[in-house]
Amino acid sequence: MSSHDEHALTPAAASEAAYDQRDPNTLWVVGFALASLVTLVGILAGVSKYFDYVEEQQIYIKQILPVSEDLKQLRAKEEHDLHRYGWADKAAGTVRIPVERAIDLYLSELASGKVKYPTEPQLVKTEAALDPQGGAPVAQPAAH
């Protein structure tokens, strides 16, 4: 026999040598599984955040941004009432005046000192000032 025939594998030996017979590296497998899990969670969180953002944008565009006709009419009526004379309660004789006129009346009352409500800062009253006898507050006996 030649030296080449000595190294030839039998069919049974060749089938056993055709694959890697070593154990897998457990640390690498666990690391890859954890990295895959972290990546999956990150992707899911990102998609969720993107979905929330798109949903908020669509709500804004479709519901908040457009002004309804009812709101336009209400604003027009309020603007009309704010700058015109009219009856607030005709039965009671209460009238509504324009805001510009109300400001002028307030400033003229303030300048003449005829304001019907206090406009000067007031001191905070202490307990002694609130006591009608002027002494210290009397402690109430405890109920048994």
Question: pLDDT exceeding 90 applies to what percent of the chain?
Answer: 40
pLDDT of residue 39: 98
The span from the CA of 80 to the CA of 77, in Å, is 5
The span from the CA of 88 to the CA of 98, in Å, is 12
pLDDT tens digits for 61-82? 888 888 888 888 999 999 999 9
Q: Select, from the ranges 31-40, 73-82, 101-110, the one with the highest average predicted confidence (pLDDT).
A: 31-40
Q: Which two tokens stand for residue 54?
A: 């798109």
